[in-house]
Each structure stands twice: as C-alpha cells, then as structure tokens.
Amino acid sequence: MNVASQFDKDEEILLRLPGDLSRAIDRFIGEHEANETKSQAVLSVLREWAHARGYLSDPAAEGIRPEDLTAENDG
C-alpha cells in the first residue's frame, strides 16, 4: 500500500468533547449551517483549522474533479 492511499481512507474516531468546546460547536452551528449535525460541524471546524495551518490544501484551488464534470459546469 502506498503512502497516499493510506491517507485517502476515512477513519472513524470516538471523541468526547468538554462542555466548553461542545457549546462552541453549538454556537458555530448557529452562525453557519443551522441544519449541520454536531459531527458535521466538528469536521467543518477541523477542516478550517487544518487549512488555515497549512495541513490541508484548499479543495477549491484544485478545481473540479473529472468525475464531477458535467455539461452544467463546462466552460
């Protein structure tokens, strides 16, 4: 198995949030996507943090993946 494929797989983790972080995530949900679950919000926050620190590339900078190309996004 090559190194790149090791990082492309999802990994399930269980996480217990302290009360202050749980409340912060609730505030994040209230300010952004009201229909986001707490798990989705944690992923959003983690992605924002990782991108801001340079640990994760910006998906928007990579363009549209070939499998997502359609006539609607052509041109």
pLDDT digits (tens, 9 = 90+) for 28-74: 999 986 689 999 999 999 999 999 999 998 766 655 666 666 777 66
Residue 40 has which token pair?
């989705």
- Structural domains of the chain, count: 1
Where do we find the tokens 């924002």? 48
Answer yes or no: is 36 within a domain: yes
User: Is 63 part of any domain?
Assistant: no
Distance CA 14, CA 24 (A): 18
Asked whether residue 24 is domain-assigned, the answer is no
Which range of residues forms the domain containing residue 46? 30-56
Residue 1 pLDDT class (50, 70, 90 cuts):
very low
> Whole-angstrom Cα distance, residue 39 to residue 1?
29
Amino acid symbol at 71: A
Classify 17 as helix, strand or coil.
Answer: coil
**H or E stretch at 50:** helix 38-52
Within-domain flag for 47: yes
